[in-house]
Amino acid sequence: MAARGCWSPGTVILVATLLCGTLDIADAAIFTLAHGHDPLVMLRSIAACLLGPGAMRGGYAMSFVGLGLHFLIAAFWASFYVLVVGQVSVARRYPLAAGVIYGLLIYLVMNYVVLPHTALHIPLPKGGLGMVNGLLALMLLFGVPVSLLNRKRC
């Protein structure tokens, strides 16, 4: 019998996707606004990574596609944590450390493997405030919450 108040892996993945995806995109939107840019354009750039530079001219519909892709990526990373990383005993024993390390892993994979090979061929990060924000966001707003949520898993 499952422990009272525990969640299925699917529930943990769903909640983590919605929570962590929302925290991450909110951080990106605030950072974008703080630097004088339009968050809708930032969302279109996510779509353009998959669909090509023409997506940048897509308006609201393409911004919505970018938002959907963001949450699809968040679902992947949440699923990978819950189904693979979160099963490792050390990750379950030290969820804060595991979450920080997982956020760092996400940053490295996305910025050094995935983004350079997208339709936009985004160059490797060069440091600076954007890099610091990206690292902290993925460690503290994605990695740590998904790791803590994984403790609810049956």
Q: How many residues does the chain have?
A: 154
CB 152 within 8 A of CB 103: no
Contact 78, 143 (CB under 8 A): no
Q: CB neighbours of 57 closer than 8 A, spacing ≥ 6? A: none
* 106 belongs to a structural domain: yes
* Residue 2 placed within a domain: no
Is position 3 within any domain?
A: no
pLDDT of 4: 77
Mean pLDDT for back-to-back runs of 10 residues, the chain (154 residues): 82 98 98 98 98 96 98 98 96 97 98 96 92 97 98 94
Write down the pLDDT at residue 44.
Answer: 98
Write out the two tokens for 136. Answer: 């902290």
Residue 146 domain boundaries: 9-150
Sign for the pseudo-dihedral over CA of 27, 33, 34, 37 = positive
How many domains would you assign to the chain?
1
- pLDDT, position 1: 46
| Residue 56 covered by a domain | yes
For residue 124, being part of any structural domain is answered with yes
pTM: 0.94
Query: Domain for residue 1, yes or no?
Result: no
